[in-house]
């Protein structure tokens, strides 16, 4: 398993790509409301990334993916393809943004609530974000990937939810998906040891019901087998000399950009 340790120049460019990805999520928030289609959200994001940011939407044509963003609604776990179906009051939606700027990727996603959502949907989203935050707070040289997996799994299961196994976080840089794989379940003290200069995503997918998923006939859209809700939050992280830095931090985040 070859993990690329990023240089100071790599890191500076990843900071820029990460900031741009975060800005897309901040920009699109006001457009997420009942009646809008995910096709329209995709168009708005695509135009913003290409024309305003002068960047590239990484998902478009990536292994044949047909759109510029992923939109995963309700029981869709990840990789939902934007379409002409309007969002309705009570929907929950994850919007996943990856931009390429100067050859480097920034990857981030968050949950949005359409109108008024059910309390359990709100709780699932909140716990999933907490899972991500708890994992990020552990990141520093010497931490192991199993430590990250365990803290996510324990917090999700303690709250009565389950962790999706089929999809995970990943190394990122000039390449969209590189080593290491960052599992969202596991045992503390196991797995690869983190080193300064590593960059990867932490992106737990947490289900209201069972962990089982299946991919639909389009080859992309992953859903919960029991059709219960799923939630996901994602940030791109750097391992610093003493802790972490979040490249994709937004104004609504409650975690600091860097560890103390």
Taking alpha carbons only, the member of 165, 149, 69 closest to residue 109 is 69
Per the annotation, does 147 bind a ligand? no
Buried b / exposed e across 145-179, counting CB within 10 Å, b at 16+?
bbbbbbbbbebbeeeebbbbeebbbbbbbeebbbe
* Ligand-binding site membership of 166 (annotated): no
The DSSP output letter for 231 is E
The answer to whether 235 is annotated as binding is no
86 and 112 Cβ atoms separated by less than 8 Å:
no
72 CB-side CA count, 13 A: 30
**Strand ranges across the sheet with 222-224:** 76-78, 222-224, 213-215
User: Is 234 annotated to bind ligand?
Assistant: yes
Which conformational region is residue 226 in: left (phi greater than 0), alpha (psi within -120 to 50 degrees), or beta?
alpha
Nearest to 99 by CA among 54, 53, 56: 56
Give the integer Cα–Cα distance in Å for 238 and 228: 33
User: Is 177 assigned a ligand-binding role in the annotation?
Assistant: yes
Alpha helices, DSSP H, located in 52-144: 119-138
Cα three-residue angle 19-182-95, rounded to 5 degrees: 45
If residue 104 lies in a helix (H) or strand (E), which one and from where to where? Answer: strand 104-113
Annotated binding site: 79, 96, 107, 170, 177, 203, 234
Annotated binding site for substrate: 79, 177
Annotated binding site for a divalent metal cation: 96, 107, 170, 203, 234
């Amino acid at each position: 398993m070859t993990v690329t340790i990023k240089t100071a120049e790599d890191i500076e460019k990843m900071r820029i790509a990460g900031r741009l990805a975060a800005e897309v999520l901040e920009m699109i928030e006001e457009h997420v409301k009942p009646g809008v289609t995910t096709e329209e959200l995709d168009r708005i994001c695509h135009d913003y990334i290409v024309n305003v940011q002068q960047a590239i939407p990484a998902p478009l044509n990536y292994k044949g993916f047909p759109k510029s963003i992923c939109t995963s609604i309700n029981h869709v776990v990840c990789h939902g393809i934007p379409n002409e179906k309007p969002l309705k009051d009570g929907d929950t939606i994850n919007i996943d943004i990856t931009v390429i700027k100067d050859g480097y990727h920034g990857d981030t996603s968050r949950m949005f609530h359409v109108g008024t959502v059910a309390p359990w949907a709100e709780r699932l989203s909140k716990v999933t974000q907490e899972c991500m935050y708890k994992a990020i707070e552990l990141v520093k040289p010497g931490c192991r990937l199993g430590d990250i997996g365990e803290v996510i799994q324990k917090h999700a299961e303690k709250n009565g939810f389950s962790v999706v196994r089929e999809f995970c976080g990943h190394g990122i840089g000039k390449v969209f998906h590189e080593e290491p794989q960052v599992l969202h379940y596991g045992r503390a003290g196991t797995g690869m040891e983190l080193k300064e200069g590593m960059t990867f995503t932490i992106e737990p997918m947490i289900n209201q019901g069972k962990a089982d998923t299946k991919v639909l006939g389009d080859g992309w859209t992953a859903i919960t087998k029991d059709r219960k809700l799923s939630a996901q939050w994602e940030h791109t992280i750097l391992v610093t000399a003493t802790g972490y830095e979040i490249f994709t931090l937004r104004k609504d985040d409650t975690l600091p950009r860097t560890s103390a």
